[in-house]
Structure 1
Amino acid sequence: MNCVHCGKLLPEGSRRDRAYCDNKCRGLASYYRRKAGVPPPPRWQHPALNSDNPALRSASAHAELLGEANGWSPSLVRCAMDGLTAVLEHRPPGKPVKLTETRTRIPRHASSFRVAEVLADLDLREDDSASSIRSWIDDRTGELPAGFAGDVRAWLLVLLDGDRRAKPRSRTCLYVYFGCVRPLLENWATTRDHLREITAADVTAALSPLHGWQRRNAIAALRSLFRFAKKRGLIFANPTTRLRTEDIPRSLLPMTDDEVLAVQRIAVTPAQRLIVALAAVHAARATAIRRLTLDDLDLPNRRITIAGHGQRLGELPHQTLLAWLDQRRATWPKTPNRHVLINAKTALGTGPVSPEYLKRHLLHQGVYLERIRGDRVLHEALTAGTDPLHLALIFNLSHTAASRYAAIAQNLLDDQIEQTAEMRSEGRTGALDGCQ
């Protein structure tokens, strides 16, 4: 018997149903067959389904069931079986597979994510992968001067994991804080060897060129770093104790007609129109839009629940929802995903779309959801009154955010009144001059 793909003679004692000399030939044959659109032979079964290895046989059968339940294509199911064959064929039954091994050993045409999903359902997956944020911390702090690297690394890890008196911070917070303190630490490293040598004068001099939000973020990051160092006994005195942040005036203007027309020209697909409608009518944040599920919709009663806040569904979101759900149903009729927004990748699972999905569809094309959302809240404040309680109830805002929008709206109304009074005064002056 010869290999179906390369023609080499199969080893003696091979199974009668064996068609390939190794996993590489099996994977390449499957890859080229799918690339050419050639279906598998009639009554063909994947060799993994009849394998002598009970673990591989049961995993392949489970992959078929999982694919049928989640709407996987036959090609994707076969790819998953190819990956399972690569990691389970010569493995003793019951021995778990490391996640890093899954990513490195399976053929390139197989989906490591789907293989890992099947192994996880069978309790055969061992997650030994390192966290990406921890790798980022190690890499970035390793670039700092030796006297500061260890303390900054310990500080970032406490921010990430939290401690008894502090909750864990988000990755975005870590990125912002480290980005603020890194240039300051590199500058201090030319004359200082450790955090304990930094004085209040050094901090003041380093912050003097900064203004606005850049200065405010730098002060917050330095406070956090030196507070941590003081608490752990790494420094004798906290040089940021007397630092004060200045209030930054917030300003927001209503969207112009040109901006509205630009959004209408860009948002043309049903998914884009739905995202824009939810932000423009319900002031929904990007995260809330991504996490919106079908269970949050009550289309017959025109109700929608966004981030746990129930409200009446507007006419524009209702129409865009119907259009998108029709396309969603036609494109992925068997998807198990309950999220409203899905794509070709998330339709095979149960998770929401990534933040990059919204960026690729709108932000990278010039549509800013936060700008649209802020305009909606500001419009409500200008038309219904500058009452923070009203804004908080309508849009589920915090007291601070509602007060901020109310103050901005009040300033705009005051400016409009002043401009109207000035125009009337100028008109009266001109009329009196004409009478003289």
Structure 2
Amino acid sequence: MRSQQLFLARMHRDHYRIPGRARLGKGGTRGRRPTPMGPERRDPTRAGVQLLLPLDIRRDYSRFDRRRDADLTNPTLIRGRRVTRDFGEAHGWSHALITSVDQALVVLLSGHTSDEKIRYSELISTVRHRGRVAEILDQLGLLDDDRAPAFEAWLAGKLDGITPGIRRDVEDWIRALHDGGPRTRPRDPNTVWGYLNRIRPILLGWSHHYHHLREVTRDDILSIANTLQGNERRHTLSVLRSLFGHCRKRGVVFRDPTTRIRVGPNNYRAILPLEDNEITEATGAATTPATRLAVALAAIHAARSKDIGELLLADVDLGDRRLTIAGRSRPLDDLTYRALTQWLSYRRTHWPNTANPHLLVNRVTAVRTCPVGRVWITRAFWGLTATLDRLHVDRQLEESLTHGPDPLHLAAVFGISPGTAIRYAAAARHLLETPAEHHDLHS
């Protein structure tokens, strides 16, 4: 082909323009076609849509002036003050506590609108008794609880340092234990904490060599099991079985390395009676009416610390001198009767208006309906040999030593399981044996 004109890019001029086409080049650049504006590019102010700024603005209640800003005619405030009065009377709140919560609601709800919620974090630096105020706001449906659960912070700290592949599977396993599933119930929080605390050093060691639980072999499990003994070995293997069983069920691992590894029986420690000086230390540590009652219930009625905290006022019958512990009624002795009357007098003096149905209450639970914590009951006996649980064990052993090592008698008196009754009977039988019983008549 000959006689063809060469055009360089963006070097067109008017006299080089091809007839019938748009002008190009510096003198006549073809303009871009206007881009159609979609719904997201339109001006929202012209369409009547209000712009939302991505700002996390928190309320500052510290500038509230009751004389200037209080609006006692606000419908939400009126309803909140009425709920506070009714809720406080039903839960045994004192007049001072009801007044304090009422003043806090005036600060929070004076300028409140119908759909506005109040964050819990906004109460921390401004409001006293924020726990009680949060209960009232929750009753009104106005509480935005933005607190991070303690379980999340604990789990993040325990999984720190574990390789991401192993961490992902372990976290899924722990959440399944904590929250439950369609066919499984949630485990006790203490069980979940104990499981992860037991195998955390093992997971940290695997993180140096492996990137996933699929790389763990049977030899790795055996090398760990061979370094452990007794109940520690049994517990560790049980936890590892739970972990790999969950991963096998979810299809994360192809083979369970803990299969066909014998866990072994539970090796219980020998049960020995307490010395007199150890019991004297425990009774000396009981300096309050609540701790004296706890010692009497544990040492005489073999009550566990959990059962002591869950005792109700309805379980005590001072007229007939009867006491119901863990669903079993038993007679009240003189020592326990005196400890009960002293505690009830102390309770009536300090918290006369409490609506808590439990026998033991403290400063925190007096305005609630939940039982006291186990730490509050056992704190006075920390560091002693004769703790409440140890006194409970000693009482059951003493019963077996006094009335003979009969498991049926122990199960009937204390309501314990057959296995536990047999264990205490065997311990008592071992203590009651004398050298004469092993004497060979033909020697």
Bin the TM-score by the shorter chain.
0.7 to 0.9
**Matched letter for residue 222 of structure 1:** L
Partner of residue 391, structure 2: 372
Q: 1:203 aligns with which of 221, 230, 239?
A: 221
1:3 is aligned to: none
Q: Give yes or no for contact 2:91–2:368 (8 Å, CA) kept in 1.
A: yes
Match of 1:51 among 63, 72, 86: 72
- Asked if the contact 1:60/1:81 (under 8 Å) is kept, the reply is yes
Partners of 1:83 and 1:107 within 8 A in 2 = no
Aligned to 1:104: 122
Query: Aligned in 2, Cα 1:73/1:165: closer, same or farther, shift over 3 Å?
Result: closer
- Aligned to 2:159, the other structure's residue is in SS state helix
Aligned runs of 1:130-169 on 2, under 5 Å?
130-169=148-187
Q: Distance in 2 between matches of 1:94 and 1:26?
A: 21
Please report the TM-score for the alignment, with normalisation by the length of structure 2: 0.79
Aligned to 1:335: 354
| Distance in 1, Cα, partners of 2:126 & 2:61 | 11
Say whether residues 1:231 and 2:249 are aligned partners. Answer: yes
Please give the per-residue CA displacement for 1:207-226, whole angstroms capped at 9, x wherever unaligned: 22222222222111111011
Q: Which amino acid aligns with 1:388?
A: P
Deviation (angstroms), 1:325? 0.5
Aligned counterparts, 1:163-178, within 5 A: 163-178=181-196
Q: How far has the Cα of 1:242 moved from its partner?
A: 1.6
Contact 2:282 2:381 in 1 (8 A): no
2:297 alignment partner AA: L
Moved more, 379-388 or 57-66: 57-66
* Contact 2:120 2:146 (C-alpha < 8 Å) held by counterparts: no
Asked if 1 retains the 8 angstrom alpha-carbon contact of 2:397 and 2:428, the reply is yes
CA distance in 2, matches of 1:152, 1:399: 36
Matches within 5 A, 1:210-249: 210-247=228-265, 248-249=267-268
**Matches of 1:57 and 1:107, distance apart in 2:** 24
What's 1:187 paired with?
A: 205
Question: 1:127, 1:102 → 2: CA distance?
Answer: 5
Indicate the residue corresponding to 2:288 in structure 1.
269
Per-residue CA distance 1:32-54 (angstroms, 9 max, x = gap): xxxxxxxxxxxxx9x96x61311
2:377 to 337, 358, 382: 358
Pair 1:283-2:302 in alignment: yes
Kindly provide the amino acid, as one letter, of the partner of residue 222 in structure 2. Answer: T
Aligned to 1:278, the other structure's residue is in SS state helix
Q: Which residue of 2 aligns with 1:254?
A: 273
- 1:314 & 1:366 partners in 2: Cα distance? 25
Tell me if the contact between 2:120 and 2:145 (Cα under 8 Å) persists in the aligned partners: no
Unaligned 5+ residue runs, structure 2?
1-59
**2-structure distance, mates of 1:149, 1:381:** 48
Is 1:89 the counterpart of 2:110 in the alignment?
A: yes
- The alpha-carbon deviation at position 236 of structure 1 amounts to 1.5
Shift of 1:272: 0.8
CA distance in 1: counterparts of 2:95 and 2:213, whole angstroms: 60
Which ranges in structure 1 are unaligned for 5 or more consecutive residues? 1-21, 30-44, 430-436
Distance 2:89 2:121 in 1: 24
The answer to whether the Cα contact below 8 Å between 1:87 and 1:106 also exists between their aligned partners in 2 is: no
How far does residue 69 in structure 1 lie from its aligned partner after superposition? Answer: 4.4
Per-residue CA deviation, residues 171-204 of structure 1 (Å, 9 max, x unaligned), is: 1111111112111111122222211111111111
| Greater displacement, 245-254 / 276-285 | 245-254
Structure 2 Cα separation of the partners of residues 243 and 193 of structure 1: 24
In the TM superposition, residue 130 of structure 1 has moved relative to its aligned partner by: 4.4
**Structure 1 residue 280: Cα displacement:** 0.8
**Aligned mates of 1:313, 1:167 — CA distance in 2:** 38
In structure 2, give the amino acid aligned to 1:54.
P
In 1: Cα distance, 2:268 partner to 2:129 partner: 50
Instruction: Check whether the contact 1:277–1:320 (CA below 8 A) recurs between aligned residues.
Output: yes
Of structures 1 and 2, the one scoring higher in RCO (CA 8 A, sep 6+) is 2
SS of 2:252's equivalent in the other structure is: coil
Distance 1:257 1:105 in 2: 52
Alignment TM-score, normalising by the size of structure 1: 0.80
Displacement, 1:377? Answer: 0.4
SS in 1 for 2:114: coil
Structure 2 distance, partners of 1:82, 1:396, is: 51
More divergent stretch after superposition (160-169 vs 173-182): 160-169
Among 316, 319, 322, the alignment partner of 1:300 is 319
Tell me how far 1:123 sits from its aligned partner. 3.7
> 2:256 is matched by which residue type in structure 1?
N
Among 307, 311, 317, the residue aligned to 2:336 = 317
